[in-house]
Structure 1
Amino acid sequence: MSESIVGIVSALKSEASCLMKLRFPLFKIARIAPRTRLCLGGMGGAGALKASQILHEYGVDVLISFGVAAALDDKLIPGDLVLPEATYCKGRKLPVTLEWRERIAEMLPSYLTVVGGTLADTQSPLSSRQEKLKHAEETGACAADMESAIIAEFAAHMDLPFIAIRAIVDPLEFSPPPVLLDAVYADGTVNVVKLVSILVKRSVSFKTLFHLGMGMYAARSTLSKVVETTGLGFRSELTDRSHANELVLEQGEKYMAAESANNNDTVIASSR
């Protein structure tokens, strides 16, 4: 696949800034390299699916979920890198393109902590240690985010190679307070007026904001190192779609059948 066009889906502007410095709105395609395109979908599965559809309509050949994740394992700390072998969503697992995943893992510097395993989907940010432990028990995952599994489902549906590259932003013992969501836009930027109001009311402390900021700094440093090491093409030119994991295709067929049976409007829209 020497002529592959890589499609990268990120949720947050802070994640996308590891790939390019220019800012751009949600659901617009950015050309960040000759054969690489980026689309910002905002937080959540709906935005991730829409961004994936937009990239596919543009003509991308492979998909990457790129960003941060929450730790479900107490061994993981901010800045650790999760290169999952599978994603978990709706009671089933979808494997990534393992050959591609292994190639990237082998390229990374030894000082980065890199783990595999399963990356779970979550419908909303996990806001406590108890929630994270429960999610880990239910899914068998070491980390979770709100977008990767949805992108993986879409990739399987369209028979596209897929990997997820996710850096830990918050450890098991520390989670962003739910009240902070009121002060954050879908792309992760902050509504300053609401944030000041939350601080004045002491609903969130400056210490909490400091911890969140340090976690994001560590995660972004790792993501930037991955980009620096692999390049903006992420070595996708060596990924042969004809060797796609058979389980991906099998799960993709199940996904299409289930979505068709449920008359999912989003999937119908994506086929137009």
Structure 2
Amino acid sequence: MSLVGIVTAMRAEAKCITPRRLPFNEMVHLREGTAIWVCGMGSKAARQAAAGLRDRGVSALMSFGVAGALDETLRPGDLVLPERIHAEYSHPVALEWRARIMQHLPEHVKIAGGTLATSQQVLTSEAEKREFSAKNGACAVDMESGAIAEIAANAGIPFVAVRAITDPLEFSPPPTLMGAVYPDGSVNVPHLLTLILRRSVNVSTLLRLAPSMRAACATLLSVVKHADIELGGTFLPQY
């Protein structure tokens, strides 16, 4: 029996797959054929999760979540299904698996291909994004897919990335905001309020971030709804 291992960095991403409150940093079986691991942000955490899933017998790995746009034509809610992942090394995805996912999706979902690059740090300005894009030839960026792709390549198992755009090229979360975010993506509310009071973070910035995240999550929910069989099976609420 095949077992798809899905790696997500943040709980908000995982909630697009299951309503369950998942434990942090461990493998959870969602149903027959599907397992998930909420690992936290960054390559180190993603590598640990992917290796953990590999060691527990998954036969394929998926990077699932959000990404930042490096292409000015990509907007919040657009879906990136890359043909290639670029980090320290370049890794192809399983193109047949990718094609099957695309076939299931409704026409209203805008899909981009190309290269998804992994950054070791959050890109916090349009200038940083443009420089990173020029260096890596990528249309979008995240912080986890490169490590997951590397584990899959070394294990000789299929890999695919499913990433929805949150921040467009011209807008990025300010670096000060990252201090108010826990590793699983949840918000440290007291710290955030302190940043707002000190005017280190503008309320207008937060108001812009929220709808972008909602648009990305709506797209990920659409992927789960229409292409669930390619994520390892039909997802049903389990409590």
TM-score (norm 1): 0.84
Higher RCO (C-alpha 8 Å, min separation 6): 2
Q: Which runs of 5+ in 2 are unaligned?
A: 234-239
Aligned partners of 2:216, 2:181: CA distance in 1, in Å?
18
Aligned partners of 2:60, 2:206: CA distance in 1, in Å?
36
Q: How does 1:72-91 map to 2 (within 5 A)?
A: 72-90=70-88
Q: How does 1:1-272 map to 2 (within 5 A)?
A: 3-90=1-88, 92-231=89-228, 233-234=230-231
Kept after mapping to 1: 8 A contact 2:4/2:232: no
For these two proteins, the number of residue pairs brought into alignment is 233
Aligned partners of 1:23, 1:124: CA distance in 2, in Å?
27
Aligned partners of 1:194, 1:214: CA distance in 2, in Å?
22
Q: CA deviation at 1:30?
A: 1.6
Aligned partners of 2:121, 2:31: CA distance in 1, in Å?
32
Determine which structure has more spread, i.e. the larger CA radius of gyration. 1
Q: CA deviation at 1:10?
A: 0.3
Q: CA deviation at 1:88?
A: 0.4
Aligned partners of 2:48, 2:23: CA distance in 1, in Å?
14
Which amino acid in structure 2 is aligned with residue 86 of structure 1?
Answer: R
Kept after mapping to 1: 8 A contact 2:97/2:230: no
String of CA shifts for 1:165-205, please: whole Å, max 9, x gaps.
00001000110000001100000001111000000011111
Kept after mapping to 2: 8 A contact 1:19/1:232: no
Moved over 6 A (4+): none
- Equivalent position SS for 1:109: coil
- Equivalent position SS for 1:127: coil
String of CA shifts for 1:42-93, please: whole Å, max 9, x gaps.
0000000111111112111000000000000000000000000000011x32
Q: Which runs of 5+ in 1 are unaligned?
A: 237-272
Kept after mapping to 2: 8 A contact 1:33/1:232: no
Kept after mapping to 1: 8 A contact 2:34/2:231: no
What CA RMSD, in Å, does the superposition of the two structures yield over aligned residues?
1.1
Which amino acid in structure 2 is aligned with residue 230 of structure 1?
Answer: A
Aligned partners of 1:127, 1:31: CA distance in 2, in Å?
35
String of CA shifts for 1:110-152, please: whole Å, max 9, x gaps.
1110010000010111100000000100000000000001100
- Equivalent position SS for 1:78: coil
CA 1:220–1:180 in 2, change beyond 3 Å: closer, same or farther?
Answer: same
Which residue number in structure 1 is paired with residue 236 of structure 2? none
**How many percent of aligned residue pairs carry the same amino acid?**
47
